[in-house]
Homo-oligomer: A and B are copies of this chain.
């Protein structure tokens, strides 16, 4: 699609996937599928729709080298890699990219894509993306919604309502209680907020002007990297969800069903999306499994013997090992903060 651009967000330092992800190797640089890093998979997924010149990657200055190395095979120009001097959440990154894209092409539609999510069904993803682009061309701010499959409490939910063949956004609820999540699941009026958004550059810039005027003022006039570096420290750290999407009247959604999406926010969320064997196990590596059920073993070269386990997550790396009851994989963040304290 000629006017379509991708803005890939690759600045995160997510460690909830410890011990596989580390500060020095955040989620987007992990190879989960065996086909490439999550960042590379994000580019590969859209490369039939978006030419390399139209792919913008926003990352942290620290990750300049791995990002450039990983993008080389796709022909993404180095000038398309935008380096944030520090993390400021998503709104500044998106405003910066939108401003640059608008200067290049006032007709541009941009797809904002996190680089650290898993999407297993590319065909279904692209079908939903095309629907979203169509909606975006009609001035909507489109959230790429995921039809929920379980009462996940770690995600954001969006209440949507169909009006004349179009899903309008009604309300955002971030990380609901389990009771609420269950209710949401039953009513079928909710989708998960995937963090993927599709909109025209000019439309989102208008909304920045209205709802986040400081960010708009500091970035939209002169989005050249040297100018952005000078003002960066003055920018507020805020998400586009909170700063614009929860307020705008232009919100719409597409509903993507069974695209095998996971934000990889926890090991459990990976286990939910990968296909298990007949006894519910997902096993990678050199593993001897005796009578385990519903267990995820993420190994590498070392021999791992797993005996009689149920609902356990095992992740083995060279220098660290995680063994976790599946429904407590959110606590991995506590491990990471303990490790930080001691080192």
Partner-B contacts on A (CB < 8 A): 18-19, 288, 290-291, 299, 302-310, 312, 314, 316, 319-325, 327-329, 331-332, 334-335, 338-339
Contact = CB atoms under 8 A, between A and B. Distances in A.
B304 A328 contact: no
* This protein's copies in its complex: 2
Given A288-B338, A290-B335, A305 B322 contact: yes
Contacts of A309: 312, 323-325
Nearest to A290: B331
Main secondary structure on A side of the interface with B: strand
A278 B321 CA distance: 24
A323 B303 contact: no
A306 B323 CA distance: 5
A127 to B, nearest CB: 38
Contact of A302 (B306, B312, B321, B325): B321
A294 to B, nearest CB: 13
A188 to B, nearest CB: 32
A308 to B, nearest CB: 3
Nearest to A306: B323
Centre residue among A321, A324, A328, A334 by max chain B CB count within 10 A: A321
Contacts of A290: 328, 331, 334-335
A308 B322 contact: no
A292 B283 CA distance: 23
A319 B307 contact: no
Nearest to A338: B288
Contact of A328 (B308, B323, B334): B308
A310 to B, nearest CB: 8
Contacts of A302: 319-321
A334 B291 CA distance: 12
Nearest to A305: B335
Contacts of A291: 328, 331
Given A305-B321, A308-B331, 12 more contacts: A19-B303, A19-B305, A299-B321, A304-B320, A304-B322, A305-B320, A305-B335, A307-B324, A307-B335, A308-B324, A310-B325, A314-B323
